[in-house]
Every structure is written in structure tokens, then in C-alpha cells.
């Protein structure tokens, strides 16, 4: 389509015979890129609904459902690309090279691209080694649509474990339900939720229908994929942010034409068209990465429910720590609750210990008591995991002589001091600069870090336990493609005994030899201002705790805190998530906060704070008198961090007891913004059901 003299790619949603718009104002279509519609009725319906619900520009919503290459005008067709092929189906790699064996096993099921192999834990070095031995080769190939229906489904029937009573109940309840039915599978970590997924998937796949499994952003590891691949001898596709544009398009096409049976993907996979979708599973449904935080701010869980409803298929939300919205939906009967309260076999549930940090001489955030416990576990040949949600060496750099602090010029935030490589790094705007040699204020050389980051913990532990392998897992040392997989592999094969990480390490991984898990600093979450902070902390705590004692070895969870008597911590350590959630939900109800009310947030930002304030103040003033009593308008207030990347940020919160009233208020506000001159001087956005205020 031509806009001025720029050709843009557009979607044609309908083509009426006549239009109210003058012919001179209508843009001509220059070329038709696809002969057949690229999105089917079902997806169009979903996107139309999403546009209405999120009150977002349709262009952005519809384009969100398309791979980048299609947005750029590429045809919706497979194109030849390099794939690895097995040269000799009976090929055996040297028995020591387990990874090479795995690669051959995978390729025995069909050719795969380097990217597909990488996400399954096979590095390019392994592939090169196999190519050198002339066991595999890379060949250009156009992937063809395939029909897997009626083929052998299971890899090995006798690999299926005998279900526990709870698992068997969950499976039979789900299998006996027809059509749309949402289930909340609440199962403690290690209780075998994935086994439930696998068994219900079997029936659906048997019927020739596809399955979509949504996982959190960093939950998609080779381990995850391997579990599905070990069960089903069917084509599995992944969809995640680490793929290149061509890989994404190919995966998208194979969902759409039905050639793939199982799709494992992150948030945006939900918007992919499917030929025959029969079941949606959302693992770790409480995870905030399912909410898109920019542009079209949709929640994949909520849209997944809608999609399941529209297609009249079952949907399973699984978590050890369901979000409060889902718990409430289960309580009101909107979801059917299924519980797994026990771990199968001999796996035991971890013991929780609160260590008081008051008056204790800490060494890089480690109390002597914790150091002793770490030594004991390591001495027994076990692994230990230390958890701190702050990467870098120290969260601030300070002058010991005059008190100067290294602050980011563009944010209301301190720079984080990193030592590997050495730099000051703002975690909010990503700005980086060299470490000043002396204090820019007083010239002193005594610049010191204050507070604790993962690099510092790593350094301290290297000094304390030089005889053990230490690995740190955070965003800094997993940036390189495939490096997270490599680190995780090193943990599994015993190369490392001490694991240090941010929440990246807490999610979904299964490490059988970890017997002690320590959260170094739990105090921050207890005093945060967001009303969801305690819910999030509780989820993280249970996730972290779930890393201990997953196999037959008993585990211990240690929490270092200055507030060991704090009700929240006591509740979590002694009674568990469900108990905590129950009382926390009552507090939410008393305060009329979500899930007992609904929110929408107008965010605005500009380099000039006054322009942002003026815009939101005017909006609030015009809106207030027109709102019914059921809708509250709060603000404008500054965002939690008022200035970020040079932008001043303010927000206006709308809260209502029902969705309809909230949507009406939002529409009214949008109409007002249309007429507001001050709106043109700021960047604003609307976030329906915000998860972060
Ligand atoms: P979750 O997803 O709830 O954290 P998993 O599905 O990862 O739990 O199961 C934890 C471990 O228990 C896995 O190693 C899994 O293979 C094993 N497992 C699951 N169900 C059974 C069962 N019925 N019998 C024996 N082992 C099981
Ligand atoms: Zn100074
Ligand atoms: Zn910054």
C-alpha cells in the first residue's frame, strides 16, 4: 500500500464495495503478496476481540500475530534453508560423546536446522565434529508440509511412569471433559505436573489435533524440549525470541499448515495460527513474562483462555504458585481446580529454615552459619544453590571520603558496578560507562561498592571453597546464544557444585543433586510498594525452594533475613503458598484490589515533566465528573521510578468493580485524549489489566 511515496505492508481485513471516505483519500493497493488469506477465521476473531478488549490500535494487534518476515512483505511460504541430515541411519558416534549421540538420535527423526538443534542442547561444535566424521552433512532443503496423523505417537510405551493417585485423577478429569473447560492444575514443584501434561496430550495427539504449550520466557530450555521429545515421536516446533526471522516464519508456517504436532513457545506463540489446535497448556501460569509490557500489552494467559473458548477446547493452567487471579477464578468455579500435593516416589519436600541476619558479621552477604551449612553439604558431595536477585558486583558505587554516589544521568537510579567486564551499568536504561579512576567530586581514590550482587557472591565463594566448581547464572553470562544451555549442562554433569544465580536459575530447572538452596536477601520484597510485591515474592520463594530435594535426597531451604518473625515469611516457611495466598487474598478483598476489582493504567512520558503532568491532570479533570461511582480515578502519580532514560513518567489509574464499567471509562478517556492538545507533546499508552504499577 502506498503512503505518500512509501510502500507499506498491510493486511486486508475486508473489502466493501463502497466507502464513506472520499476516493482521493483512500490508498491504493500496489501489490497482493499472498494468494490465500494468511490468517484464518479463528485467528481473525481472536485478534478482533483483543483489539476491542485492550483498546489498542488494530494495526499493531494484527501485526503482532505475524512473523517479522511477513510484516516486511515476504511471502508466506517455506524457503530453502540449510538443514543437517543424517548420512547413515545406523551411525554410531564414539560412545564417550553423549552429546554427539543425542544429536544423531534427534536427526534420525528427520533433518533439523542448526537453530533447532541448538535449542535442543546441541552446539555447533558438536555438529562440526559429526560432520568431520562424515556422519552428518548440511544440505539446502525446502521444508515440506508433512502429515503426522496416523503415525506412531509414542517413543516408548514403557517409559511412561505409573501415575500417582492425584495425577491419575487429574488426567481422568481432564480427559473426560468435552469442549471448552479451563483447569487450574495446582501442583507443588516436583509433583509431576509435566507428566499430567504429557498424558493428556497423548489423547489429543491421537485424535490428530495439535497441542500448544506456553512456557515462560526463560523456561524454554533443551531440558524442557527433551521431555516432550522423549515421549512423542512427532514433529515438535519451538517459538521463542532467540530464533532468527526465517526460523520463526518456518515454525509459524508449520503450525498453520498442521505439519507440526506440538508447539512449545513463549508468550507470542499464542497468537500463531494453528490448523487443528486441540489443547492449550500454560506452564508456570503465574509467570509475569506472559504479559507483554510494551506496545500491544496483552496477557497471553488471558488471551489463551479466550482462544480456547472460541475453539471450544480444553486449557490447562499449571503452577506450583498460581497467581491470585487464577486462584480466585478457581474459588468461584470459573476454573476447575486439580491439585497435586505430593511428590511421586521417594522425593521429599524440603525443610525451611529462617536465618536471622541481625547482629551477624556477614561475608559478602553470607552469614557464618550459612557458610558452615554450605560446607557440610558440599562435603557430602551435594550441590548447593545461592540465590540473589541482583546481578553485577554491587548495586551502587560510593566514595568513601565524601559520600558521592555514581548515579545514572538519565534515570533516578544508581549505576550498578560490574567487574566482569569492569564498568558502571544502569540496569534501567542500559547506559554503560567506564569506572571513574577517582571520585569526580573530591578526587579521592577510595571508591567502594555498597550492597551485594551476584558477582561479589561468586568471588567470595571462590575464596571460601576453592576446591569446588562454581557457576553463576544471570543475564550477564548467558547472553551468548546457547550459553545458558551449556551452563545448565555443566550443572547436570557435576562440573559445578556451587550454583549462584538470579531468578533465571529459579525457574523450572530440575537439578537432582541440589540439597541446599539459600535466598541471601529476602528483606527487599517485604517493604516494596507495589501491592503485588508479596505475591511475587511468595511465588519466587516457593520456586527457589522447589529447587531443593527434588530427587531422593532431602533438601533444605535457607532464608537469610533481618525479619525472621515477619508474618509473611513465617507463613510461607511453615504453612506454604496456599495458606499465604488465602490470607493475602482476604486482604486484597478488604482493600478492593485485584482480583476483586479491575484496573487500567494510562501511562505518559516526556522529557519535560510538566508536559506529562499537564496532560494527565487535564485528562483526570475532564474524566472525573463523567465517571460513574463504580469507577475510581487515581492520580496522576509519578511512576515508581519517575525519571528513566531521560523521560519523566507519570500515570493515571482507573479502577472499577466490573470490567464493563472500566472499559466504558477507558473509551471515554480515549475520546478525551483525542481532543487534548497536550496529548501531542507526550508519549502515552493504555495498559488494561496492568501487572506492574
Ligand atoms: P513438576 O512439573 O510438577 O515440577 P515434574 O513433572 O518435573 O514435576 O516431575 C518431577 C519428577 O518426577 C520428574 O523427574 C518426573 O519424571 C518424575 N515423575 C513424575 N510423575 C511420576 C510418577 N507418576 N512416578 C514416578 N516419577 C514421576
Ligand atoms: Zn568523593
Ligand atoms: Zn539509567
pLDDT of 441-458, one tens digit each? 999 999 999 989 999 999
Question: What are the backbone dihedrals phi and psi of residue 624, each rounded to the nearest 5 degrees, phi first?
Answer: -40, -60
Q: Give the mutation target among 164, 184, 190, 340 for probing the ligand 1 site: most ligand atoms within 8 A of CB.
A: 190
> Distance, CA 482 to ligand 2 centroid (Å)?
42
CA of 407, nearest ligand number: 3
CA of 438, nearest ligand number: 2
Shortest-distance Cα residue to atom 26 of ligand 1: 344
- Could you tell me if the CB of 344 is within 6 A of ligand 1? yes
Within 183-238, residue ranges assigned H as helices are: 193-206, 222-231
Pairing mode of beta strands 556-561, 598-606? unpaired
- Could you tell me if the CB of 91 is within 6 A of ligand 1? no
- Could you tell me if the CB of 190 is within 6 A of ligand 1? yes
636 prior amide bond cis, ω within 30: yes
Q: Closest Cα partner for 599 from 692, 663, 688, 693?
A: 688
- Could you tell me if the CB of 193 is within 6 A of ligand 1? yes
Q: Is 372 exposed, middle or buried (0-12, 13-18, 19+ CB in 10 A)?
A: exposed
Q: Closest Cα partner for 340 from 174, 510, 183, 190?
A: 190
Q: For ligand 1, what atom is nearest to the CA of residue 189?
A: 4
pLDDT in tens, 560-589: 998 888 888 888 888 889 999 998 999 999
> Distance, CA 285 to ligand 2 centroid (Å)?
48
Q: Does 323 appear as a known binding residue?
A: no
pTM: 0.90
Q: How many helices (H) and strands (E) does the chain have?
A: 22, 26
> Distance, CA 445 to ligand 2 centroid (Å)?
8
The DSSP symbol for 394 reads B
CB 563 within 8 A of CB 521: no
CB 631 within 8 A of CB 619: no
Pairing mode of beta strands 351-356, 556-561? parallel
> Distance, CA 276 to ligand 1 centroid (Å)?
29
> Rounded to an integer, what distance in angstroms lies between the CA atom of residue 391 and that of residue 479?
13
> Distance, CA 107 to ligand 1 centroid (Å)?
27
Shortest-distance Cα residue to atom 12 of ligand 1: 192
Dihedral over alpha carbons 153, 155, 159, 160 (to 10 degrees) = -20
Residue 549 is predicted with a pLDDT of 66
Residue 551 is predicted with a pLDDT of 61
- Could you tell me if the CB of 195 is within 6 A of ligand 1? yes
Q: Does 666 appear as a known binding residue?
A: no
Helix axes 222-231, 483-492, angle to 10 degrees: 70
Blockwise average pLDDT, block size 10, the chain, 693 residues: 73 79 79 78 92 93 88 80 79 72 82 80 85 86 78 78 95 94 93 95 95 88 84 89 84 92 94 96 95 95 96 97 96 96 76 88 90 94 92 94 94 93 93 94 94 93 96 86 81 92 79 89 75 91 80 82 88 89 93 96 96 96 95 93 95 96 96 92 96 86
Residue 461 is predicted with a pLDDT of 96
CA of 441, nearest ligand number: 2
- Could you tell me if the CB of 299 is within 6 A of ligand 1? no
pLDDT in tens, 423-434: 999 999 999 999
Q: Which residues have CB atoms below 5 A from the ion given as ligand 2?
A: 399, 401-402, 404, 439, 441-442, 444
Sheet containing strand 498-501, edge to edge, reads 351-356, 556-561, 514-519, 383-387, 498-501, 470-473
Residue 305 sits at the vertex; the CA angle it makes with 302 and 308, to the nearest 5 degrees, is: 150
> Distance, CA 80 to ligand 3 centroid (Å)?
43
> Distance, CA 411 to ligand 3 centroid (Å)?
4
- For 435-475, the DSSP string reads PPSS-TTT--S-EEEES--HHHHHHHHHHH-TTS-EEEESG
240 prior amide bond cis, ω within 30: no
Shortest-distance Cα residue to atom 4 of ligand 1: 190
Q: Does 429 appear as a known binding residue?
A: yes
Q: Does 411 appear as a known binding residue?
A: yes
Q: For ligand 1, what atom is nearest to the CA of residue 508?
A: 4
> Distance, CA 203 to ligand 3 centroid (Å)?
51
Shortest-distance Cα residue to atom 9 of ligand 1: 192
> Rounded to an integer, what distance in angstroms lies between the CA atom of residue 378 and that of residue 14?
66
- Residue 185 CB neighbours (<10 A): 28
- Could you tell me if the CB of 345 is within 6 A of ligand 1? yes
Residue 508 is predicted with a pLDDT of 62
Residue 261 is predicted with a pLDDT of 94
Q: For ligand 1, what atom is nearest to the CA of residue 347?
A: 12
CB 347 within 8 A of CB 174: no
- Integer-rounded Cα Rg, in Å, for the chain is 27
Grid coordinates of 512: 537432582
Q: Look at the block and give the residue holding cell 471509562.
A: 665
- Could you tell me if the CB of 187 is within 6 A of ligand 1? yes
Residue percentage of the chain with pLDDT more than 90:
56
Q: Is 118 exposed, middle or buried (0-12, 13-18, 19+ CB in 10 A)?
A: buried
> Distance, CA 202 to ligand 1 centroid (Å)?
17
Q: Give the mutation target among 320, 344, 548, 553 for probing the ligand 1 site: most ligand atoms within 8 A of CB.
A: 344
Q: For ligand 1, what atom is nearest to the CA of residue 188?
A: 3
Residue 93 is predicted with a pLDDT of 65
Residue 95 is predicted with a pLDDT of 57
> Distance, CA 366 to ligand 1 centroid (Å)?
33
What are the beta bridge partners of residue 454?
A: none
Amino acid at each position: 500500500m502506498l503512503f505518500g511515496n512509501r510502500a507499506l505492508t498491510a493486511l486486508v481485513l475486508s473489502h466493501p464495495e463502497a466507502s464513506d471516505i472520499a476516493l482521493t483519500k483512500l490508498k491504493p493497493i500496489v501489490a497482493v503478496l499472498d494468494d490465500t488469506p494468511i490468517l484464518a477465521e479463528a485467528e481473525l476473531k481472536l485478534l478482533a476481540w483483543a483489539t476491542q478488549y485492550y483498546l489498542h490500535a488494530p494495526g499493531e494487534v494484527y501485526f503482532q500475530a505475524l512473523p517479522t518476515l511477513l510484516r516486511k512483505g515476504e511471502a508466506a511460504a517455506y524457503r530453502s534453508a540449510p538443514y543437517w541430515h543424517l548420512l547413515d541411519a545406523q551411525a554410531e558416534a564414539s560412545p564417550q560423546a553423549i552429546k554427539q549421540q543425542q544429536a544423531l538420535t534427534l536427526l534420525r527423526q528427520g533433518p533439523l536446522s542448526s537453530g533447532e538443534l541448538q535449542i535442543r542442547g546441541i552446539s555447533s561444535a558438536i555438529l562440526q565434529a559429526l560432520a568431520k566424521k562424515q556422519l552428518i552433512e548440511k544440505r539446502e532443503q525446502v521444508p515440506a508440509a508433512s502429515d503426522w496423523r496416523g503415525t506412531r505417537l509414542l517413543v516408548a510405551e514403557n517409559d511412561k511412569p505409573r501415575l500417582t493417585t492425584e495425577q491419575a485423577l487429574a488426567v481422568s478429569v481432564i480427559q473426560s471433559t468435552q469442549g471448552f473447560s479451563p483447569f487450574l492444575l495446582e501442583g507443588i514443584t516436583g509433583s509431576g505436573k509435566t507428566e499430567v501434561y504429557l498424558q493428556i496430550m497423548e489423547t489429543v495427539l491421537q485424535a490428530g489435533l495439535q497441542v500448544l504449550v506456553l512456557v515462560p520466557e526463560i523456561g524454554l530450555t533443551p531440558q524442557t524440549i527433551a521431555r516432550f521429545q522423549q515421549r512423542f515421536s512427532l514433529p515438535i516446533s519451538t517459538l521463542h525470541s532467540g530464533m532468527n526471522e526465517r526460523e520463526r516464519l518456518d515454525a509459524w508456517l508449520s503450525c498453520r499448515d498442521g505439519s507440526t504436532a506440538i508447539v512449545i513457545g513463549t508468550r507470542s506463540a499464542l497468537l500463531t495460527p494453528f490448523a487443528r489446535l486441540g489443547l492449550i497448556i500454560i506452564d508456570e501460569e503465574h509467570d509475569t513474562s506472559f504479559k507483554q509490557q510494551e506496545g500491544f500489552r496483552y496477557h497471553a494467559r488471558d488471551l489463551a483462555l479466550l482462544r480456547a473458548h472460541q475453539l471450544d477446547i480444553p486449557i490447562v493452567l499449571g503452577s506450583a504458585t498460581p497467581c491470585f487471579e487464577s486462584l480466585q477464578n478457581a474459588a468461584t468455579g470459573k476454573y476447575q481446580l486439580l491439585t497435586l500435593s505430593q511428590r511421586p516416589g521417594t522425593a521429599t519436600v524440603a525443610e525451611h529454615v529462617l536465618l536471622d541476619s541481625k547482629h551477624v558479621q556477614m561475608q559478602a552477604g553470607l552469614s557464618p552459619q550459612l557458610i558452615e551449612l554450605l560446607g557440610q553439604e558440599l562435603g557430602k558431595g551435594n550441590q548447593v544453590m545461592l540465590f540473589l536477585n541482583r546481578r553485577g558486583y554491587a548495586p551502587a558505587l560510593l566514595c568513601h571520603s565524601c559520600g558521592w554516589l555514581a548515579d545514572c544521568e538519565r534515570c533516578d537510579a544508581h549505576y550498578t558496578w560490574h567487574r566482569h567486564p569492569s564498568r558502571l551499568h544502569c540496569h534501567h536504561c542500559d547506559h554503560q560507562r567506564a569506572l571513574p579512576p577517582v571520585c569526580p567530586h573530591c578526587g579521592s581514590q577510595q571508591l567502594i561498592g555498597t550492597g551485594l550482587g551476584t558477582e561479589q557472591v561468586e568471588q567470595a565463594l571462590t575464596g571460601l571453597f576453592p576446591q569446588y566448581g562454581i557457576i553463576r547464572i544471570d543475564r550477564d553470562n548467558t547472553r551468548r546464544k546457547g550459553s545458558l544451555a551449556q551452563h545448565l549442562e555443566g550443572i547436570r554433569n557435576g562440573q559445578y557444585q556451587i550454583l549462584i544465580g538470579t531468578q533465571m536459575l529459579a525457574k523450572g530447572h530440575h537439578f537432582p543433586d541440589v540439597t541446599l538452596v539459600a535466598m541471601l536477601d529476602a528483606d527487599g520484597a517485604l517493604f516494596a510498594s507495589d501491592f503485588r510485591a508479596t505475591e511475587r515474592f511468595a511465588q519466587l520463594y516457593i520456586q527457589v525452594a522447589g529447587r531443593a530435594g527434588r530427587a531422593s535426597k532431602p533438601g533444605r531451604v535457607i532464608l537469610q533475613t533481618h525479619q525472621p518473625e515477619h508474618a509473611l515469611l513465617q507463613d510461607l516457611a511453615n504453612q506454604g503458598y496456599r495458606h499465604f495466598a488465602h490470607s493475602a487474598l482476604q486482604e486484597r478483598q478488604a482493600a478492593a484490589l485485584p482480583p476483586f476489582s479491575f484496573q487500567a493504567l494510562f501511562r505518559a512520558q516526556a522529557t519535560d515533566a510538566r508536559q506529562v503532568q499537564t496532560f494527565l491532570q487535564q485528562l483526570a479533570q475532564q474524566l472525573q465528573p463523567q465517571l460513574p461511582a463504580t469507577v475510581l480515578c487515581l492520580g496522576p502519580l509519578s511512576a515508581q521510578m519517575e525519571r528513566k532514560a531521560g523521560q519523566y513518567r507519570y500515570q493515571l489509574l482507573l479502577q472499577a468493580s466490573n470490567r464493563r464499567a472500566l472499559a466504558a471509562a477507558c473509551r471515554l478517556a480515549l475520546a478525551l485524549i483525542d481532543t487534548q492538545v497536550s496529548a501531542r507533546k507526550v508519549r502515552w499508552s493504555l495498559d488494561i489489566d496492568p501487572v506492574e504499577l
